[in-house]
Amino acid sequence: MIKKWTIFYFSPLLGGAMEQLLLSFYNLKITAFHQSSVSELLKVSQKHLSRSLRRWQDSGYLTFKSARGRGNKSTVQWFVDIDTLYFNKVNALLTRHQLSDAIQYLTWDWSIHHKQMLITKANQLLGVSTADADKLVVKKRYAPLYSHPLEVVDINSSNILSNIYDTLIAYDKHSHQYHFKIAQHIDFYGDYAVIYLRKNVYFHDGTQVTAEDIKRCLSHAIAYQETKVLLNPIVSIEVINKLTVKVYYHDFPYFKDVLCKLNLAIYKQDKQQIIGTGPFYIAMNNEFQTTLKSFDQYYGYQSYLDEVELIYIPKLKESNFTLSDSDTFQHIEVTDGFYYVLSLAQNKLSDIQKATVHYLFQQSVHHLKDIHTSKGTPYILKDQPLSLKSLNKLEDHFSITMVYPSYIEKKMLQYKRYLKRYNIETVLKPIDIMTSFKSEITIEGDIYIHGMFFSEAESFEYFTVLYQNKTMHYHLSKQFPLLSDYYATYITTDTREWNELNHAINQSLFESHILYPIFNIAQEVKVPNSIHNAKVTTAGFYNFSELVIKR
């Protein structure tokens, strides 16, 4: 793949332009080279590299002599220390006022010494702003994958967007209680529900939320590919008056839980942006930075923070909040979410091979070093940790093909080496992250590995794993015929009695090696001592509207 390199232009203070490709080439520290090898290393075409070398020569950075004859190397002689030149420019840009402009350059290919100096300085500038006690600046590894509430499937997007969009009702994982949000009250009956809206709920553009907005959002969710399965029981939606909506349905005991999902948040959309009703609105957003500002007309408690600035640095080793050196913080250990193995419908392994792989994955938590892996018995349902008994004989000398999202490549290489110890060859097949969330995954392979987290009531979330998740449902239904029979039981049973159903299915899938957890995700999250009332997940603390800063 050819990489796109960018030239950034600066103010006169910085003295012209900087070019990412030039820095990367300089820090290869080579004077004689084959252009084909270097262009491949830099992920550019040979023609692009050749043109760049001549341009840099014209600019006085170097002299370049192209190779003549087969097997000969091109040569270069440097006149300018590019690493030091660019370091001085970015270092000058790293001020509290220009930090958001400079942060993108931290991912460039610096010398180790200069990279460490730049990151250290950036870290000192990040954190709770000392100039403004009502502004929180946070660095994270990843930007949200999605900006539309309907599309959200990952924990990072959910953590951030939950501050921008509100639902009609919410479930609190800590207290295990439901509480109304945009809805003042909801009456749930056997075949319909009546939703009464608060009078003082406004979108971020200042317009009032009405029953028509609720009908529109629910209608869009019914038609949307990823949510229509859950909302299939809805028959019709009727606007009673400006603040009252009536929803008719059949066999919908989990309607309350569906309304808690961020995918069912209330929003409106114009040509430029999606507009929410939450405690913060998006003031600025790009691939490097998101700025959230407190919404003055919010119907709930006014946020203590006026502004939250999220800065994304992809090559950071951790996505925790980073604080200024003057702040002390507490370390909170969080176990939240799990990685699982899903047997693919096209799995060609024998029963004993499946059992061997299952057993080895279960034991891997004790043999592989990973600070993000909980050493306890892995579970999908928190109150049902399951263990596979020791096998009389482990099968060996066979091959397994593992499909997985490309961003966990490092973890998969670790598993490949681990299985090799037991004479099991592993073929790795990465797929892109969007495919992993949206596809049935029908490529050749034996097992699929990915991570998951539950944001709502566990009994309901397990149901969505079985019937809403496209990948899961496609492969489970082909290997576990009872899945359709269980669905009929779910929709005619009160959700308070779903635990028994969940446990029965979870154990069956586990014992047949169709679906089982590998490990639970453990993370040490740093929360500053000056921050109070933070709710914490493995993606960091996120309830910005409820935070209080005490100094």
How far apart are the C-alpha atoms of 49 and 58, rounded to whole Å?
14
Q: Taking the chain, what is the end-to-end CA distance rounded to the nearest angstrom?
A: 50
pLDDT at 236 over 90: yes
Q: Which range is least confidently modeled, 28-32, 290-294, 408-412, 431-435?
A: 431-435
- CATH superfamily placement of domain 133-164+278-335+524-550: Periplasmic binding protein-like II (3.40.190.10)
What percent of the chain stands above pLDDT 90?
53
**Token pair in block for residue 258:** 């569906």
Nearest partner of 400 among 424, 368, 417, 364, judged by Cα = 424
Triad 498, 501, 504: Cα angle to 5°: 150
Triad 33, 37, 38: Cα angle to 5°: 70
How far apart are the C-alpha atoms of 181 and 102, rounded to whole Å?
39
| Domain boundaries 174-277, CATH class | alpha beta
Asked if 427 and 399 count as a contact pair (C-beta separation under 8 A), the reply is yes
Flag whether the pTM goes above 0.85. no
Q: At what angle do helices 82-93 and 112-125 cross, to 10 degrees?
A: 0
Nearest partner of 442 among 474, 394, 483, 484, judged by Cα = 474
pLDDT at 129: 47
- 3-class secondary structure, 486: helix
Asked if 132 and 309 count as a contact pair (C-beta separation under 8 A), the reply is no
pLDDT at 319: 43
Q: Which distant-in-sequence residues (6+ apart) come within 8 Å of 177 by Cβ?
A: 171
pLDDT at 140 over 80: no
Just give the CATH number of 337-521: 3.10.105.10
pLDDT band at 540 (very low <50, low <70, confident <90, very high): low
Alpha helix stretches (DSSP H) within 174-251: 211-223
Mean pLDDT of the chain: 86
Asked if 409 and 430 count as a contact pair (C-beta separation under 8 A), the reply is yes
520 bridge partner residues: 338
- 3-class secondary structure, 134: coil
Nearest partner of 451 among 339, 328, 342, judged by Cα = 339
Q: Which range is least confidently modeled, 52-56, 73-77, 330-334?
A: 330-334
Domain spans in the chain, listed from the N-terminal domain onward: 1-80, 81-127, 133-164+278-335+524-550, 174-277, 337-521
Which CATH entry fits the domain spanning 1-80: 1.20.58, 1.10.3470, 1.10.10, 2.30.30? 1.10.10
**Token pair in block for residue 41:** 């290393």
How far apart are the C-alpha atoms of 268 and 61, rounded to whole Å?
53
